[in-house]
Structure 1
């Protein structure tokens, strides 16, 4: 009888590696021996059920969204300062003043702009962002054929999450380390801008479903200009094609990152590893309190986890024996849920996981010891441990990360004042006020002529409020202070993060089509033409800027109406590239009006599309190297 080959060698010959479908050559032993546990990404609350059915079916990592992004300051010349600076900055990264002390305009040469610079560090989002992660690994015996180890030989499987702390020698300044990283940061920022242009066509094709003829014409103009920019960049870079240009930029970036790592090694920049040790309270392990401790020697790094370091369980994937093509058929695969948050913190109140520290995962398995087992204990023996290589390093996204929070939109329905009035007339006073505030000192403001006119501090008081009342006042305060903050600090680009349905605004069709083309897909400060109703219309940059900033239907008037301010916004010195996104946001608002029957339009798309890993097939059979039972 031919059976799957299983190892019976002692644990020192075991090797805990990544899953076969994430090896460079799927299931090829030579690649598996040097692989690391893999962190797979999922969406949806039922991801474990789907994972157990198809372990390799997980989401792809995006090289811009799923990595930690820093920002890089790029110097802006006189032209670029007007074209590209949504937020003009100084060389130190602070907002650049518009005028000198004597009132003269500051030279544009002193202006810098911030742009995203993706790093090579993985970024894990939180469950609140509708992203979940599993660490997966596979157990083999390190002998010819790389046979699997039977699950029955393992009495414990788990993993630990450890923290990486970068250290530099005393004689090496932080500025010199930062200076060395600038070249890689610049290359990453350049590649990111190229990738955003490369994705323009794909995003437009995806968003074309259900568009009107006019909107499709706008997208055709957008696509034509995007292709024009691609062709121009390819010509300037002396590359035969756009994919070749992107591939060359990736190679340059990878080479620079390797050079930077070599420089770190030569100058003694090292990484210390720390483990999380929960605090003992009354002889029991606390689920809340703990501390990070440095593991300053290999003996501690690979010590028995029973020494007090917190660990998490790994679970075996046991496929249905009738599914011969299952990803785990004939293999010993394990998985565990990666923690990305929680309530744990140290004695100073610092959370265990935050978005500033770097972490890694190490998996382990324990071999069954021939001694009698400890009944009801985990592990049930004191057999030897086998550790995996560390996973790729990662950081955890902040709870209110812009990209992460967009994956799980939240709808808050404001109360209807008419309905509240009807409910208030039918209920006893106080019955609909479940939120109670107990105040040791009661602060009572005085209002006169619609303005605050002093106040007084009283004694203890208890006030009850209704949740709809709190919601109405909170949104009113937001609406009141939003235009003030935007106007005072000249942060008009923040309007892009706000989407409302205002009164309808009509503009010329040719101007609409021009303004639909927003950076970085096309440069609005270069003359271009669009086709509207079959007619080519040449859009002059000065005419476009004048149409945006002057007249009764100008962008100034619409911003004043939309935001609710009386003064004209200071946008005359902004370029078309700056004004385009703001105007397009207002256009989107105007075009999403309720239908004649009162039904609301569909909300705008948020988050990022789900893209899954391509399925792979093994190049080495799971039953290779059979033996007689």
Structure 2
């Protein structure tokens, strides 16, 4: 083996040199490094130029759990709308590419010999990685499991100075919090030993096994496939060697740095033990990466299997859901609504062949009178079909947006999800949010807003309804009247009518000036290479 017995994998040199620095034998040096970027071209533009360059994880990059929160009457602005707060764990969270976040794993390869010589001279090896899932099963009676979950939430809330009702029933997925942080797990176990004696838990490492037909499934590591499944093998992914840079000194060029792209999304699905179709990757599983070195058999021994040396797993992580608000805030999508004036001009010209071409199969056409409202049960009929209609894409979008505007307030009022209004803001013409903020800051109530016709129209515009173009008979009830009539479902007490501060917070949530551009993400430090230090 050319003077050594194999290879070992370590965290890259710049990670070990960051303060506080640690050596190759340190436990922290055994894990590969997960590096984060905010540009899809990060390999070419950043990683290849300088592997030390990457984003530093901040609070948003760690998994959090929402707990109920009752805003105090002294809360200001948007805080009055927050009916939940987040408890943060130490478990890493990786975002989706649509969130403008991309990830690489980086390792450094050494020869397994005294002093761990750098393996830069080896061209006969390849480095790959696997992505594994930690699967936890919890057993025990419902009562101790729920009590344990409640105690956990109370302790976590105390650590972040969050008020949490200890008598409130925790959500079903609170067990994910329990298994999210091993260090917290150990500390909490000491104070809840009696409950833990009644609750059993076991965690298995699962591998994604793929057969010859490309069908995959998660299975406990080391267990054989079932009798109804063909032979399979664990899916792995390639790592590529980072080439030396021009500015590297001679010694630095002997390093063997490798990187791989971390898959944070997959369209693959599988059938679990309960015969349910599940996605391969989701936002509930806890995953980790494990890299390995593979060396083919030498010339003349081609029939022998390759030799493999495994590294330690990476830090565990979860994947953000596609609509994770901490992720979607990083990505802006601009859509311009169809221009009715331009469409009117095109209406006088021959229709082109483009658009959405709808083909109705025979006996598949829905027939109803669209002027009689929503069809009642049994009034609709199935027509002969067989026709073809082409609709301009703009027509579909206009109708869809119309329905959105119509149903948004219905959803908000029906379910009293007032905080949904804090997830949007409008820039209507000729409206001053400062005037409305001052109005409610003076303690004026919604009744006063209703009585002032001009102010009522400005109030509507703040929520996206330009009521001034409507006839007088169609302006009422407006947003002020609707909010004034809202009652709490149990107590029957009006929610907004006597709370000017809460109403002001609702208006402020729609103010475009309230939008805050996220600060640039922090970056990792770039330590100097100790191999290139001047004598």
| Alpha-carbon displacement from aligned partner over 1:238-270 (angstroms, at most 9, x marks no partner) | xxxxxxxxxxxxxxx998555036679985633
The more displaced of 182-191 and 53-62 is: 182-191
Aligned to 1:545: 443
Task: Let me know the Cα RMSD of the aligned residues.
Answer: 4.1
Identify if the C-alpha distance between structure 1 residues 129 and 508 changes in structure 2 by more than 3 Å, giving closer, same or farther: closer
Give runs of aligned pairs for residues 96-495 of structure 1, distance below 5 A.
113-150=83-120, 152=122, 154-170=124-140, 173-187=144-158, 189-190=160-161, 258-260=186-188, 269-281=201-213, 286=214, 289-295=215-221, 308-320=233-245, 322-324=246-248, 329-347=253-271, 348-372=276-300, 374=302, 382-428=305-351, 431-439=353-361, 440-448=363-371, 455-461=380-386, 462-495=388-421
Judge conservation of contact 2:447–2:497 (CA < 8 Å) in 1: no
- The alpha-carbon distance between structure 1 residues 152 and 587, as it changes in their structure 2 partners (threshold 3 A), is closer
Provide the rounded CA distance (Å) in 2 between the counterparts of 1:554 and 1:261. 62
How much does 1:406 deviate?
A: 2.4
TM-score, L = length of structure 2: 0.75
Tell me how far 1:327 sits from its aligned partner. 11
**Unpaired runs of 5+ in structure 2?**
165-180, 226-230, 466-476, 487-494
Superposed displacement of residue 563, structure 1: 4.8
After TM superposition, the score normalised by the length of structure 1 is 0.65
The match for 1:621 is 531
Match of residue 245 from structure 1 = none
Over residues 543-570 of structure 1, what are the superposed CA-to-partner deviations in whole Å (9 max), with x where a residue is unaligned? 6432677343899765544354534313
Q: Aligned with 2:318: secondary structure? A: strand
Check 1:86–1:585 CA distance in 2 against 1; reply closer, same or farther (3 A cut). closer
> Is the 1:51–1:57 contact (alpha carbons within 8 Å) kept by the matching residues of 2?
yes
CA contact (8 A) 2:251 2:532 kept: no
Does the residue aligned with 2:348 lie in a helix, a strand or coil?
Answer: helix
1:496/1:585 contact within 8 Å kept: yes
For residue 546 of structure 1, give the secondary structure of its aligned residue in structure 2: coil
Identify if the C-alpha distance between structure 1 residues 580 and 166 changes in structure 2 by more than 3 Å, giving closer, same or farther.
Answer: farther
Contiguous gaps of at least 5 residues in structure 1 = 1-5, 88-112, 194-252, 301-305, 375-379, 516-541, 592-603, 625-629
Partner-residue secondary structure (3-state), 1:273 = strand
* Shift in Å, 1:29: 2.8
Tell me the residue number matched to 1:40. 35
Q: 1:312 to 1:181 in 2, by over 3 A?
A: same
Between the aligned partners of 2:161 and 2:320, the Cα distance in structure 1 is 23
Q: Is the 8 A contact 1:15 1:140 kept in 2?
A: yes
The number of residue pairs the alignment matches comes to 471
Residue correspondence of structure 1 range 19-34 to structure 2 within 5 A: 19-23=12-16, 25-26=20-21, 28-31=23-26, 34=29
Between 1 and 2, higher relative CO (CA 8 Å, sep ≥ 6) is seen in 1
Separation in 1 of the partners of 2:155 and 2:406?
Answer: 43
Secondary structure of residue in 1 paired with 2:407: helix
Residues 454-505 of structure 1 deviation map (CA, whole Å, 9 limit, x = unaligned): 6433122433222111011100100111122222223232112122222423
Q: How many angstroms does 1:19 deviate by?
A: 1.2
Q: 1:465 to 1:142 in 2, by over 3 A?
A: same
Match of 1:582 among 483, 499, 506: 506
* Cα distance in 2 between the residues matched to 1:141 and 1:556: 75
Q: Identify the residue that residue 169 of structure 2 maps to in structure 1.
A: none
How much does 1:414 deviate?
A: 1.5
